[in-house]
Amino acid sequence: MRTIRLTKESKKDLLNTLLKRSPNNYGQYEETVKGIIDEVREKGDQALFELTKKFDGCELDAESIRVTPEEIEEAVNLTDPELYAVMERAAANIRAFHEKQKRNSWFDYKADGSILGQKITPIAKSGVYVPGGRAALSSSLLMNVIPARVAGVKKVVLTTPPGRDGKVPAGTLAAARIAGVDEIYKVGGAQAIAAMAFGTESIPKVDKITGPGNIFVALAKKQVFGYVGIDSIAGPSEVLVLADETANPRYVAADLLSQAEHDELASAILITTSEKLAEQVEREIAQFMEKLERKSILEKSLENYGYILLADSMDDAIDAANEIASEHLEILTENPFEVMTKIENAGAIFLGEYSSEPLGDYYAGPNHILPTNGTARFFSPLSVDDFIKKTSIISYSKPALKAVHEDIEAFAKSEGLTAHANSIHVRFEDHSSAGQ
């Protein structure tokens, strides 16, 4: 990690560096992704079989592309019972948190006979993508599927790449059983996104696609947006720790490394007002690095996107945190709740030394599908709201409309839309004179 003084210029340079990790900067892959999507739209299942053989080294056909109940049962039996119980407890926490996000339809009745309201309807079909191989994330499956189920989505379809043996990781299938997935297909990459967006002979078209993936998955979601809804174009993981002299340097170092191990593009940043803490954290990181398994990834992540920023004041540190708008923000200060009130931009905020970021990744309940690359300035975590539609309801009686019809007609005419004005006018024209 590099230690630098927090200034206006260093902050600007840091923001520019972090933005380089955005999927929007990988245009060289867009044509490749477009070609895959077009192939799936044109050839359907045949394209999926060919692309799965090409990219995953696995032979599929119409019989084997869908995971069978027997395969799910086998996976559950292969899963450590203690781990299965942990996933069930995590799922219960996730479900309880998201239940509190549910909305109800509402109607406002007025004395003049007008009724205004909002009708809440869950989307019909949700598609979830789960990466395979080393990145098989059972926790992300729970985070994507459970809010959809809480929202009332009727069908949840999951796609995930198979191994060369044609199998899906047992942990993925076990989590799918717990979360309540309806259909699981052995397809990965951009081709899986295309299949869910447009449908094939085997895979149904869905209404919205959520879930993490590599750059090809991210770009595919970007290209199919508009044909279906998506959650976001997710970038690499990131954590920002905001700390003062009261923070435990060992905890800070461990938390920074917990995000840096995701991949070489992951970002881990400490902003602190304490030079002593900064020095201690660096020493702790060096010691941890010798023990942790993903050392090569950690080294490259910290070398490229690991920073310790020394701030002159906590107000300066908070301002920088708001501009960075990190996916995960840990506040390890003397009074973290007071600092939290000044934070405007963050995907998720973790308060105090016993609220380490992995608590949110796996267990606490709030969703870990979060805005990245500064998009916390305008995006929110995945939630029940992502799986519902809000429809406006309008009903006016004749007296209610009569009281305002001239206002509406004037507004419409001011925009040159005389047919709009006429649509209101005809309801109050003098019918006896109109018939002469």
Of these residues, 328, 353, 357, 409, which one is catalytic? 328
For the CA atoms of 348, 353, 358, 360, what is the dihedral angle to 10 degrees? Answer: -40
Tokens 């996104």 identify what position? 193
Q: How far apart are CA 138 and CA 127, in angstroms?
A: 16
Tokens 């299942």 identify what position? 45
Contact yes or no for 98/143 (Cβ under 8 A)? no
9 is catalytic: no
Contact yes or no for 17/321 (Cβ under 8 A)? no
Of these residues, 39, 71, 327, 409, which one is catalytic? 327
**Nearest Cα to Cα of residue 192 among 123, 124, 132, 262:** 132
431 is catalytic: no
Q: How far apart are CA 323 and CA 344, in angstroms?
A: 9
Q: How far apart are CA 260 and CA 254, in angstroms?
A: 10
Tokens 């990145």 identify what position? 135
For the chain, the residue count is 436
Q: How far apart are CA 361 and CA 369, in angstroms?
A: 9
Q: How far apart are CA 270 and CA 329, in angstroms?
A: 10
Active site residues: 327-328
